Amino acid sequence: MNSSTALQDVVKTIRDADKILICAHTQADGDAVGSSIALAYTLKALKKEFILYNETGFPKWLSFMEKPSEVIESIESFPFEPELIIALDCGDPKRLGDAMAEYIKTKKSINIDHHLGNPHYGSVANWVDSGKAATGEMVAELSQALNVSLYKPLAEALYVALSADTGNFTFGNTRISTLEWLVKLAATPIDIPSIRVQMDNNWTLNKLKFWGQLYQEIEIVHEGRFAYVKIPLNYYEKFQVTKEDLEGFVEQLRKIHSVRVAMIIKEDVKNNKQIVKISMRSHGDDDVRTILASLGGGGHKNAAGAHVDGTMDAVITKILPLVESMWEKQ
Ligand SMILES: [Mn+2]
C-alpha cells in the first residue's frame, strides 16, 4: 500500500472514532513525545476525546513542553475506555511497554511509524514510511490532512519531534520535505530560539561531570573506525544522574574524525535478569540496523538499538566481528 492511501485510511479511521488513545514507545525520545503531544493537540482541535499514554512517562528534559492533558502511565488509570489506539514512532509493539503490547491487541489500532522493519501490527491501518525523518513529520502531514491549523502548542510539539530525530536538522535523514516543514513551523508564533535553550541548555553539573568521565573511557578499535563506551549500572548512583542523562551521548562519539560507527552499551536489569542496552550510530552506507537486527534489535540504517541478554563484555565480543564484516562486504 502506498503512503498516501495509508494516510487516507488513517484520516478516515480517526474521523470515525470519538475516543482515542495515543501511545508511543517507552523510554520516549523527542520524536515519541513530540509526535504524541502533536497528535493529542490535533485530536483536541477535532473535539475528540483522547488519552495521552506512555508506559514509562515522558522524560524530564522535555517537561517544558505544553501538553493538552496529563500523561497516563497505566491502563488502570484510563478516564474512559478507548475505541481506537494510535501507536506512534514504535517499530515493535513490545516497545509500547508490557501492558500496552497486550492491550493493543484487544482494540482497533493504527500504527504510524518510520522505523525500517516495522511489522505492521496496526489492526485497521498501518502508515509506515522509513523515508520520513521523524514520526513527527507524519503527524504534521496527518494534521494537515485533517485540516487542523498549526496552532502554537501543536507547532511546538512538531518542532521538537523533527529537531530531535534529525539532530537539529543536520543528520542524513533530513529531507527537503523536513526542511519545508521547518519553514512552515517557523512561520507560526513558536519561539524557536527559546525552545532551543530549553532543549540544549538544561544540563545539571552532575550530567556534565558524568559525560566527562565517559569521555575518559572511550574505546577505539578497528583502525579508529569504531568507538564505544560501556556504562556500568552503578554509574547512575555514583554520578547522581539518571539514564535519561545519556540521551545524545552516542552522537558525541561520532565527532572523532576517524569514527564511522559509534556505540554505547549500557548495563541494565529486566525481570531480575542482567541485560545490556545498545545504541549505535553511523553515517551513510554503514548499516547498523542490520548488525543489531541480528541480535534482535531494530531502528534505522544509521541509528539503531537492541536489548540483549548477557554481560557488556560478552555482547561487545559478539558485535566487534559484525561491524568488521559489514565493512568487508562493502
Ligand atoms: Mn522517531
267-321 pLDDT per residue, tens: 999 888 999 999 999 999 999 999 999 999 999 999 999 999 999 999 999 999 9
φ, ψ of residue 41 to 5 degrees: the values are -65, -35
Give the phi and the psi of residue 85 in degrees, each rounded to 5.
Answer: -115, 135
Question: In the chain, where are the structural domains located?
Answer: 3-200, 205-329
Query: What is the number of other CB atoms lying within 10 angstroms of the CB of residue 99?
Result: 14
Per-residue pLDDT tens over the stretch 242-257: 998 999 999 999 999 9
Question: Can you give the pLDDT at residue 4?
Answer: 82
- In whole angstroms, give the CA distance from residue 17 to residue 24: 19
Distance from residue 88's CA to the centre of ligand 1 (Å)? 8
- Give me ligand 1 centre to Cα 165, in Å: 6
22 and 54 Cβ atoms separated by less than 8 Å: no
Ligand 1 midpoint to CA 135 (Å): 5
Distance 60 CA to ligand 1 centre (A): 18
Percent of the chain with pLDDT over 90: 95
Cell 559509534 locates to 262
Q: How far is the CA of 287 from the centre of ligand 1 (A)?
A: 17
Report the pLDDT value the prediction gives residue 1, as an integer from 0 to 100.
Answer: 61
Mean pLDDT of the chain: 96
Mean pLDDT, range 12-23, rounded to an integer: 98
pLDDT at 3: 79
- Under CATH, domain 3-200 is a member of which superfamily? inorganic pyrophosphatase (n-terminal core) (3.90.1640.10)
- Rounded distance from Cα 114 to ligand 1 centre (Å): 7
Which CATH code fits 205-329? 3.10.310.30
Q: Is the pLDDT of residue 52 over 80?
A: yes
Q: How do residues 163-196 score in pLDDT, each as one tens digit?
A: 999 999 999 899 999 999 999 999 999 999 999 9
pLDDT band at 2 (very low <50, low <70, confident <90, very high): confident
Say how many Å lie between the CA of residue 13 and the centre of ligand 1. Answer: 23
- Give the span between the Cα atoms of 201 and 28, in whole angstroms: 20
Give the pLDDT confidence score for residue 313 in this predicted structure.
97
